[in-house]
Structure 1
Amino acid sequence: MTNPLFYAKILLFGEYGIIEDSQGLTLPYSYYKGALKFSNLDSDFERNSNAHLTKYADYLKDLDLPKEFELHVSEFKKDISNGLFFDSNIPQGYGVGSSGALVAAIFEKYSLTKRNPETISKEELKKLRTIFGQMESYFHGKSSGIDPLICYMNLPILIENKESVDKVSISGGLEGNGAIFLIDSGMTGETGPMVQIFFEKMKTEGFRKTLKEEFIRYNNACIDSFLKKDMNPFFRNLKKLSNWAFEHFRPMIPESIYNAWKKGLDSNAYYLKLCGSGGGGYILGFTKDYAKAEKMLDSFQKEVIYRF
């Protein structure tokens, strides 16, 4: 393939918690994707993308990357002048990794050392994450490097802690009454301001305490039981997690979703949580009975991403 596709990503668990060393679990999401392509730049979209790549190339030129992760930036610049752009249907501000896919595509095409994601060791994953963090910081101010890593690997990734990530296997995903789904809040969210709200909250001791003692505990328990396919403790902890977010992440929950979130908690028909930093974009839903949840959420646009 001359133009490999890079898929969007979904952070199932770990939003905000991974900043404070919780676990995280993320999946590639093939509904949205992007690829580097050449064109005559006839459309506004192509011209804008090409202009953004020009600025980004200047940023990459000044990055001091270790030898085994060096990029062929002069080749990248030459391609940009020949009409390179990033052809992507990944929505921006929706928490599904639009900049992550771009970073992954550029690294794959222009890195001097070629790698096969299937054979990358856990140690090399750690280094790659750091490199991707440097590359993606251009877009977000400070990046963990997780989004581009998932887009690049195109495999489910377990974030064990701040230092360590590993590949995991998540089987199934097409059949069953239960589902994980996305709800479109109908508005875009900006990561920067939401993260700022989180850090403001972290200044109060009470919030720090409840985040560590409750949120991170429920979050990690959800990941553990989900990977074991142990659905009863999974939904028990998920309800606690959803309830905690409803109380403590109020500013991050889009207004359009607010009542639906509460309805899920009250009825136990489904539970909602943030997908990424919140403020807009997608919200994640989990249910044991998708047909029932779908009826209750019929005023929203939904996309199923996993069945069980």
Structure 2
Amino acid sequence: MKGPLFYSKILLFGEYGIIKDSKGLSIPYNFYNGALKVDDELSDLAKKSNESLQRFANYLNELQSKQPELVTFDLEKLNEDIARGMYFDSSIPQGYGVGSSGALVAAIYDQYAHEKITVLENLTREKLLKLKKIFGAMESFFHGNSSGLDPLNSYLSIPILINSKDHIEPTGIPSQVENGKGAVFLLDSGIVGETAPMVNIFMESMKNEAFRKMVKEKFVKHTDACIDDFLKGDIKSLFKNVKHLSHVVLDNFKPMIPAKFHKLWKQGIDTNAYYLKLCGSGGGGYILGFTEDIKKTRELLKDYPLEVVYNF
């Protein structure tokens, strides 16, 4: 058995802000993917995944007994397949902010959910919100708290625009410029990040009035502006707003930025050569970067693994 492929995602804009109702823009990233597989002989890694799937199946059992109106699964079949040696065969790095658990959640829903909402039907706002709610409840097993956006992106494999908690829609993004000079890129921090502790730091900080004010008046404001600029293809305004956003993050989200990148982050802002922002919850994994001159940026960041994900 080998199930269909589910891809990683990149939340271009909206990390943390979407918890507080800012806009968000999430795009599929086809460089990494994962699929459910059954093998007789399991490697150590596959064995670990198989054991994790068993814990997840137990969690889904609890979830459907608590919220049967939300979602139910063919748990008998799921447990049978796990007993046969099913695991999630994935190239998506874990703890890197590109949706490894999201792809797994999408794969399990696709294979085992009763009365599933399919990608082929007319996806009304109600259906999208229901899917997001189901995925949020499922993915909470991995993160303690989930918006459901990563699995939604992986499941649908299309860019998704979050206008607010209750208003999400599929969206088109401007076509890439083949070999364009400008780029969005991923920088590998070389450290695995964990979502839950970072989200906890953010939620604690939100108890502080000054921090809440900064999130609303600066962080959310620049995030929303970046999304509008990106979707309109207004590159000049986009880079102005990404610079503001990068500055706000460096000043106020230091715990989420690995210490060895503080200097590099500031260097980008000071020289205008590139601007860095969080990719997912931060704390490690990938850092997202924007540059108007990828060649120059590659030279400046030559000591770090860098992947281009979009060209302007």
TM-score, L = length of structure 1 = 0.96
Structure 1 residue ranges (4+ consecutive) displaced by more than 6 angstroms after TM superposition: none
Other-structure match for 1:140: 143
Task: Confirm or deny that 1:62 pairs with 2:93.
Answer: no
The structural deviation recorded for 1:251 is 1.0
Output one character per residue of 1:103-135: Cα deviation in whole Å (capped at 9) or x when no partner: 000000112224432532221000110011111
Other-structure match for 1:81: 83
The structural deviation recorded for 1:71 is 1.5
Output one character per residue of 1:237-278: Cα deviation in whole Å (capped at 9) or x when no partner: 111000000100111111222111111100111100000111
1:117 is paired with a residue of what secondary structure?
A: coil
Amino acid at match of 1:191: T
Which range moves more in the overlay, 192-201 or 93-102?
A: 192-201
The structural deviation recorded for 1:174 is 5.2
What pairs up with 1:123-162 in 2 under 5 angstroms? 123-162=126-165
Output one character per residue of 1:63-97: Cα deviation in whole Å (capped at 9) or x when no partner: 13455842211111111111111001111111111
Other-structure match for 1:98: 100
Output the aligned Cα RMSD: 1.5
The structural deviation recorded for 1:2 is 5.5
The structural deviation recorded for 1:223 is 0.1
Task: Confirm or deny that 1:16 pairs with 2:19.
Answer: no
Task: Confirm or deny that 1:170 pairs with 2:173.
Answer: yes
Query: Counterparts of 1:42 and 1:73 in 2: how far apart (Å)?
Result: 22
| 1:247 maps to which of 240, 251, 255 | 251
CA contact 2:2–2:37 (8 Å) conserved in 1: no
Other-structure match for 2:114: 112
The structural deviation recorded for 1:41 is 3.5
| 1:277 maps to which of 281, 285, 288 | 281
Amino acid at match of 2:280: G
The structural deviation recorded for 1:47 is 1.0
Amino acid at match of 1:153: L
| 1:257 maps to which of 245, 253, 261 | 261
Other-structure match for 1:226: 230
Other-structure match for 1:293: 297
Query: Counterparts of 1:93 and 1:68 in 2: how far apart (Å)?
Result: 28
What pairs up with 1:26-37 in 2 under 5 angstroms? 26-37=26-37
2:63 is paired with a residue of what secondary structure?
A: coil
Amino acid at match of 2:155: Y
Amino acid at match of 1:162: K
| 2:307 maps to which of 285, 294, 303 | 303
Other-structure match for 2:219: 215
CA contact 1:218–1:238 (8 Å) conserved in 2: yes
Other-structure match for 2:42: 42
Query: Counterparts of 2:110 and 2:230 in 1: how far apart (Å)?
Result: 31
Task: Confirm or deny that 1:193 pairs with 2:197.
Answer: yes
Question: Structure 2 vs 1, CA of residues 68 and 215 (structure 1 numbering), >3 Å: closer, same or farther?
Answer: closer
Other-structure match for 1:25: 25
Sequence identity percentage: 53
Query: Counterparts of 2:201 and 2:181 in 1: how far apart (Å)?
Result: 37
Amino acid at match of 1:215: F
Query: Counterparts of 2:167 and 2:223 in 1: how far apart (Å)?
Result: 17
Query: Counterparts of 1:57 and 1:200 in 2: how far apart (Å)?
Result: 31
Other-structure match for 2:6: 6
List alignment gaps of at least 5 residues for structure 1: none
